[in-house]
Amino acid sequence: MDIIRTALPVLLGYAPIGVAYGVLAHQAGLSLWETAALSFFVYAGSSQFIAVAMWQAGAGFLAITFTTFLVNLRHFLMSAALSPYLGRYSKLWLTYFGGELTDETFAVHSTRLRQGDPGYAGKPLLLVNEAAHLTWTAASAVGYLAGTALGNPQRLGLDFALPAMFAALLVMQVRRRLDVVVALAAAALSLGLPFLIPGRWNVLLAAVLAASIGAVLDGGKHQCVVSG
């Protein structure tokens, strides 16, 4: 039951977002199996939305692959933030765990691991990831099958599910004034950097800069986490 409660915010967020992705994939001309395979093997929400849009626009395989790589560079930051808690696990375990890590599960893991709960280790970490992964894949298939009936997912407000879920996960992580400062710095930098730097680097740079600000202000005493 504890694992269900831990994963529930992510699962409730993934269901409508996965449906929205499935609807868009259907409209872009992907098959049901292609839609589900992207969710199961790629498993990168924002990158999947971008990939579908690029596919619909006629972009090539290499362009889609390279763009997905750039968008997912933030996973290096998330892995580095969790690494102090995962040093005892084997490389095989870490490979499997890292392959299923997302922004949302990272937020859940970092919150629980910082609390120092001895029971939140090993199997529970993997179960949270797996529950989120299966929910995302299933919701994608449901969205595809319901694509014709639902039409534009924005009409039902499904496009708001992702920012709403991130807001809820942020609240879970805010425990000190410094966390609020880091979160506000990340938001301000992410909104301001596009005016200075072209392209889609604003989120990654904002996360790095905000985390650096938090580390300096904290003096290295605690871990400040910034999720993309």
Residues near 130 by Cβ (< 8 Å), separated by ≥ 6?
A: 100
Considering only the C-alpha atoms of the chain, give the largest distance between any 2 of them, rounded to a whole number of Å: 54
Q: How far is CA 167 from CA 9, 13, 45, 161, in A?
A: 11, 11, 17, 10
**pLDDT tens string 124-161:** 999 999 999 999 999 999 999 987 676 666 666 655 65
> Do 184 and 146 sit in the same domain of this protein?
no
Whether residue 105 sits in one domain with residue 135: yes
Residues 100 and 191 grouped into a single domain? no
Q: For residues 196 and 101, state if they share a domain.
A: no
Selection from 24, 4, 6 nearest residue 143 by Cα: 24
Helices 2-28 & 45-56, crossing angle to 10 degrees?
0
What's the confidence (pLDDT) of residue 158? Answer: 59
Total Cβ atoms within 10 A of residue 177? 9
Q: Are residues 125 and 179 in the same domain?
A: no
Is 191 found in the same domain as 99? no
Mean pLDDT, rounded, of the chain: 82
Residues 63-109: tens digit of each pLDDT: 888 878 877 877 888 888 899 999 889 999 999 999 999 988 998 89
Domain end, chosen from 127, 160, 193, is at 160
* Same domain membership, residue 133 and residue 83: yes
User: Is there a single domain that holds both residue 11 and residue 112?
Assistant: yes
Domain housing 135: 2-160
Measured distance CA(83)–CA(11) in Å, rounded: 24
Domain shared by 41 and 63, yes or no: yes
Task: Tell me the C-alpha to C-alpha distance, in Å, between residue 31 and each of 23, 35, 141.
Answer: 11, 6, 10
Q: Are residues 69 and 142 in the same domain?
A: yes
Do 226 and 156 share a domain, yes or no? no
Q: Which residue has the higher pLDDT, 192 or 226?
A: 192
> What is the Cα–Cα distance from 43 to 99, expressed in whole angstroms?
9
- Specify whether the CB–CB gap between 100 and 130 falls below 8 A: yes
Instruction: Tell me which DSSP letter residue 154 carries.
Output: G
pLDDT at 173 over 80: no
Is the pLDDT assigned to residue 172 strictly greater than 80?
Answer: no
- Whether 114 shows a pLDDT value over 90: the answer reads no
181 and 145 belong to one structural domain: no
Asked whether residue 165 is assigned to any structural domain, the reply reads no
Q: What is the number of domains present in the chain?
A: 2
